[in-house]
Amino acid sequence: MAVHPQIQEDKWKSLRYLIGGIFLVLVLIEKSMGFDPKATGSFLPKQGFRNIGKSLDKSKFAEPSDPFAKETWEDDLNWEEEVLTQTFPDSDPKQKQRPKLIDDTIPEITLPEDRFPGAGKRLQADAGYLSVYFLKFYGTGKNSQSQLVKLSREFPGGDPISFLFQELAKGPNPEEKGKGVLSALSKKIRMEPNYRLENGILHLSLSDDIGYGGSMEILKDRLDQLSFTMVGNFGIKGVILYSNGERIRTLGSDGLTIPDVLAKSQRKVIIF
C-alpha cells in the first residue's frame, strides 16, 4: 500500500527537526564544558561525540584535585619558611674586619680644671706652734681601729705649708712612737714647692708615692691626715691633690675615689 505524499513529507520534517534539536543540545553541552568552536575552527571535537559523558581531557576538564591529597603538599607550603630561615653570609668571615672603635692616634684630652694651676704666692707666717695629725690604733685584732691624734710642732716661721707637709712625712718622733702613734704617709712622699692657694682651695702637687701601698682604710687615713693638718689654717677651706701635673681622682690599686675637694671628715680626734 502506497504512503500518502503529504504524510511522507511530514515525517521527513519531523526527522530534520529532531536531528536539528539533537545538534543544538550537543552544541550547548560543548559550550557549557568550555569548548570554543571559534578557537578550533570546528563545532565538533576531532573525536566526535563518542566520548560524551566522559572527560575529554582530564588535565583540562577534570574537577580540581584536592591539594592535600598529594604526598608533597607540605613541601609546596614550606617555601615561605625556607625564605625566612635562609641565611645569606655577607662576606667571607676571614676577610671581614670590624671597624675600629678607638683611634689610638687621638691623644687624651685633659680639661683645664684637671691640670695643676701652677705656682702661686708663697705663704709666710710668724714663728709659733702648728698642729699636725697622726694615727693611733685602739683595740686588738679585728676590733682594732685607727683614731686621729692631734700633736703640736714648733714652727720657726716662714712657709707654713712646706713645713707642715715635711712634718707629716717625717712621722711621729721616738717619744710619740713609744705611745703607739703612727703615720699612714710614707717618708718617700714628696711635695713640690710650687703649691697654689686660690679662693680658699690649696692645690698641692705630690709624688706618685701618695697612692702606693696600704689598704683602703690606710689610704683613707692618709687623706685625713693631710686634710686635717691643712684645712682650717691660713684661710684654707679645702685641698685638691695633683701628681705629675694632673689631678688625682683615685688612689691605690683598688681605686679609692677622692672627693673633688678634700675637707675634714666627721671623725673623732684624740689630743695628746
Domain span at 177:
128-271
Amino acid 214: pLDDT: 76
SS3 155: strand
DSSP 98-145: PPPSS-TTSPP---GGGB-----PPP-B-SEEEEEEEEEEESSGGG-E
Amino acid 191: pLDDT: 93
54 lies in some domain: no
Instruction: Indicate yes or no: pTM above 0.75.
Output: no
119 lies in some domain: no
69 lies in some domain: no
197 lies in some domain: yes
Amino acid 78: pLDDT: 47
Amino acid 272: pLDDT: 79
From residue 123, alpha-carbon distances to 4, 45, 83, 126, 237 in Å are 161, 125, 81, 10, 15
86 lies in some domain: no
Half-sphere exposure of 267 (CA within 13 A, CB side): 22
Of 127, 200, 191, nearest to 161 (Cα)?
A: 191
232 lies in some domain: yes
206 lies in some domain: yes
245 lies in some domain: yes
Quote the number of domains for the chain: 1
Count Cβ neighbours within 10 Å for each residue of 33-69 and write b for 16 or more, e otherwise.
eebeeeeeeeeebeeeeeeeeeebeeeeeeeeeeeee
From the number of C-beta atoms within 10 Å of its C-beta (0-12, 13-18, 19+), residue 12 rates as exposed
From residue 10, alpha-carbon distances to 3, 5, 6, 34, 149 in Å are 12, 9, 6, 37, 149
In the chain (272 residues long), the average pLDDT of successive 10-residue segments reads: 61 77 78 59 48 46 50 47 45 53 51 76 93 92 88 96 95 95 92 92 93 87 96 95 92 88 91 84
Of 181, 115, 121, 116, nearest to 151 (Cα)?
A: 181
